[in-house]
Structure 1
Amino acid sequence: MNGQIDWNEMPEAHVFKSDVTGLRKEEVKVEIGDGRVLQISGERNVGREEINNDEAAAVQRVECSSGKFTRSFTLPMNAKMDQVRAAVENGVLIVTVPKDEAKQAVESSN
């Protein structure tokens, strides 16, 4: 599993997006850690029994990736760490971290 994540800085928020197709939302974790760290992790297990429940059939090819991923991002001072929102829409994890406009203005003037 590759765990590739896009980070876009929008005028009012930092937005993270990741393809989590095939994962249930219980299999994806979004956590806030010390030092303004956003951590996104998950695990996809593709076992033989999940691919084919018919014992008489043989699996010809497995191309679905499986495994664990963990990605960590240190967020800037203007991130509102207490207002992080996460949702899965059409197989895409979207994590939104609003910006503190007062801190944004201070950072811009320095």
Structure 2
Amino acid sequence: MVPILSARLDISNETSQFAATRIDWKETPKGHVFKAYLPRLKKEKVNVEVEEGKIFQFCGEMSRDKEEENDTWHRIERSSSKFLRKFRLPENAKMDQIKASMVNGVLTVTVPKKRGQEA
């Protein structure tokens, strides 16, 4: 499971290079489901956070391999970067019951709906 935090993490727009991280958001009769493809990222490096006003965000950091003094790099195409994505959910979202998991580089966040407010 990916930890769900209530604290807010400050990541500037300047370092939020992965704002273009592609997200799928579907609404089912039971809730809202978000999926993000985050290749190369370990689940320990992803945080899902809840803010006031029906907002949740996820953020993380992708880092390069550690450089050793005797290494000679011929090419570096995988860069280090941070990302931050925020979503405002509808009033029918149960913000206190968000669940998140990450399998094979896919982050899945599920937010149940309040009863009587299905699609």
- Interval of TM-score (by shorter of Structure 1 and Structure 2): 0.7 to 0.9
- Cα displacement (A) at 1:47: 4.2
Mapped partners of 2:28, 2:78: distance in 1: 33
TM-score by length of 2: 0.74
Q: Structure 2: state its 5+ residue gaps.
A: 1-16
Q: Which residue of 2 aligns with 1:8?
A: 26
Q: Structure 1: state its 5+ residue gaps.
A: none
**How many pairs were matched up?**
101
What secondary structure is seen at the aligned counterpart in 1 of 2:41? coil
Identity %: 46
Q: Which residue of 2 aligns with 1:55?
A: 70
TM-score by length of 1: 0.79
- What is the Cα-based RMSD across aligned positions, in Å? 2.0
Mapped partners of 2:81, 2:59: distance in 1: 11
Q: Greater helix share, 1 or 2?
A: 1
Q: Which residue of 2 aligns with 1:75?
A: 89
Q: Which residue of 2 aligns with 1:29?
A: 47
Mapped partners of 1:66, 1:8: distance in 2: 30
Which has more radius of gyration? Answer: 1
